[in-house]
Amino acid sequence: MSRVREGRAGKLGARHLLCCLALGASAPARAAPAPADRTVDVQGLLQGAVMTPAAREAAVHAGFPTSGIPLEVGRSGLDGSAVALVSLTSLDGQAAPRQWVVRMALSQSPRGTGAPGARDVTRYTSVGDTFVYHSADTAAMDLDILAPSEVPEAIHNQASISPDFLVLDLLRAAEVVRRIHEVAATIPGVPYGFESRLEPFSEDEAAGNRRRLAPFKLSVDERRSFTGSILALTEFFQVIQATPGLDRILLEVIEKPGVMDIVRHGGQPGLGFKAIYANKVDTGDLFWRGGEPRAPTDLFAINAILFGRPVLTIALVVAAPAPPLDVTAGVLGAVAWAPDHPEKAITVRLLAARRAP
């Protein structure tokens, strides 16, 4: 298994931990096949994530659209909005879910080379690639959050994101992982791995990794898409980090590292992501409005790694980030839980995605 370690982390508060997860993430291709006996029914949780009467009343009062994802793939530009239902659920079914409704919309901003907030991110892969990803500007994503409360008033906040990173295509990354599994099944026992980081690998390392990865025949475009998917994940976590309440409930399902884990890693978290599996998935009518075309979707699962061990498993239902799903980086739904102690799960279900009028 491979991962990337970037930066340092001190006190692991909610916002600090989320920030580190975003900045320290990687998308290695060293992934095990999907386990046959998964402890968490991802599709069942997404199907069962329905709004409580209180959440629906608050959403209606606030004027949030709560149904339908009309795809307008012929149009471009990040100027739409999306509404998602977030549930914190006890997997034993003994407690009612706590729910948040979140509306997100990207503010209009000037775009183009040299625009304010332009960013270049360079990542190096374990086979010797150097990929530069450019976002022409930084934009503000407006967030309106309806929290569990007796007062159905929305909390307003903003997240600063790089719009061009949102469309780096998690679906294609999932397709690469799925194909790696298919090839690996035909050559059992052959070690393989693919990772990226912010510092170059030595030529000796890269040459050895190229030999090991040769049977998988990953093209440059596939490696670039796979490596860039981490930037889309980073933007996704930036939105969570900026959403009051959601940053704290994530800590309720993260596996807490043990003392020896911390000691073995010298107190440095070494935060990162590892791909676990990716499968095609038919979501039925879960996300699509009746009569609307359905986009192809994959179930893409990753582990967040802290102090050398998985602390959070995140299963994403992803589609191509075509409008209006570019606002959510193509994420339609997500379920997150502690891999060793899955007592609670956070479920994120997209309710509506619309182009701006």
Q: What is the pLDDT of residues 194-219, one digit of tens each?
A: 888 889 999 999 999 999 888 889 99
pLDDT at position 172 over 50: yes
The pLDDT value given to residue 160: 82
Element housing 53 (H / E): helix 53-62
The pLDDT value given to residue 150: 59
Q: Which of 21-35, 267-281, 282-296, 333-347 has the highest mean pLDDT?
A: 333-347
Per cent of the chain over pLDDT 90 is 17
Domain edges within the chain: 14-354
pLDDT at res. 157: 84
pTM: 0.82
pLDDT value of position 270: 53
DSSP string spanning 302-321? EEEEETTEEEEEEEEEE---
* Per-residue pLDDT, 356: 63
pLDDT computed for residue 158 by the predictor:
84
Task: Quote the CA–CA distance of 6 and 193 in Å, as a whole number.
Answer: 18
Please write the tens of the pLDDT for every residue from 36-61: 335 788 888 998 888 888 888 888 88
Residue 76 has pLDDT above 90, yes or no: no
**H-helix or E-strand spanning residue 82:** strand 81-90
Tokens standing for residue 287: 């996300």
251-266 pLDDT per residue, tens? 788 876 654 444 444 4
CB of 106 within 8 A of CB of 239? no
Can you tell me which residue has the tokens 């209006």?
324
| pLDDT bucket at 78, cuts 50 / 70 / 90 | low
The one-letter amino acid code at 330 reads G
Residue 80 has pLDDT above 80, yes or no: no
